[in-house]
Amino acid sequence: MCFLGILIIFLIILLYRDLKPHNILLHNTGHAEIADFGLSADTRRSGGMAEGFCGTRAYIAPEVFQKCKYNKAVDYYSLGIILFQMATGMDPQYACYRNRFGFLKNVSPELQDLILKLLCENPNERMRFVASIRDHPFFANIVWSAIEAGRIPTPINLVSTNSG
């Protein structure tokens, strides 16, 4: 669902630039919602590019640290960091060592591949991957049209049915 939230943001040509677990909220219906658009950039007039150092250090893509102009690839890098953190239970600072020390050895090969491709250092390669991300084996059982139409129940529902 977080992935779909990012897609929706990009439909309106925003760079979010601060994707991290603290900005992903769980709605009482069980859906994830992205909050705090304070660092977002509207890139419609700049060809989809932004510049400037902003975001939360542990989730920032390499191109932001290099003070280069960047595009929405930075948000997908942040998503890769979040997935690394969720899959390993490790602090995001260890994601830079993802290819060493076997941090991903207990993660399914499909999720490993997804994380490594989202954390690709080259933003152009990252965006080429993202262009076909829905076809990635990790998402093999996902019926995207059903999710987008809201026909898939969430695994958790926080709405109280108790009237007392």
Asked whether residue 17 carries a pLDDT value surpassing 70, the answer given is yes
Residues 47-60 have pLDDT tens digits of 888 888 888 889 99
Q: Provide the number of structural domains found in the chain.
A: 1
The answer to whether residue 127 is domain-embedded is: yes
The answer to whether residue 157 is domain-embedded is: no
* DSSP β-ladder status, 32-34 and 41-42: unpaired
The answer to whether residue 104 is domain-embedded is: yes
In angstroms, the Cα distances linking 124 to 24, 35, 43, 118, 137 are 26, 27, 17, 11, 21
The answer to whether residue 163 is domain-embedded is: no
Any idea which residues carry the catalytic annotation? Answer: 18
The answer to whether residue 92 is domain-embedded is: yes
Q: Which domain holds residue 67?
A: 2-43+50-148
Residues 99-121 have pLDDT tens digits of 666 677 788 999 989 999 999 99
Show the tokens assigned to 28: 């009482």
Q: Mean of the pLDDT values across residues 60-84?
A: 91
* Helix ranges restricted to H, 1-148: 2-11, 62-65, 73-88, 109-118, 123-130, 144-148
The answer to whether residue 28 is domain-embedded is: yes
Asked whether residue 9 carries a pLDDT value surpassing 70, the answer given is no
The answer to whether residue 153 is domain-embedded is: no
Percent of the chain scoring above 90 in pLDDT: 29
Q: How far apart are CA 158 and CA 54, in angstroms?
A: 33
The CATH number for 90's domain is 1.10.510.10
The answer to whether residue 96 is domain-embedded is: yes
Q: Mean of the pLDDT values across residues 82-98?
A: 80
Closest among 118, 122, 87 to 102, alpha carbons compared: 87
The better pLDDT of the pair 2, 153 is held by: 153
Show the tokens assigned to 122: 């080259």
Q: Mean of the pLDDT values across residues 9-30?
A: 78
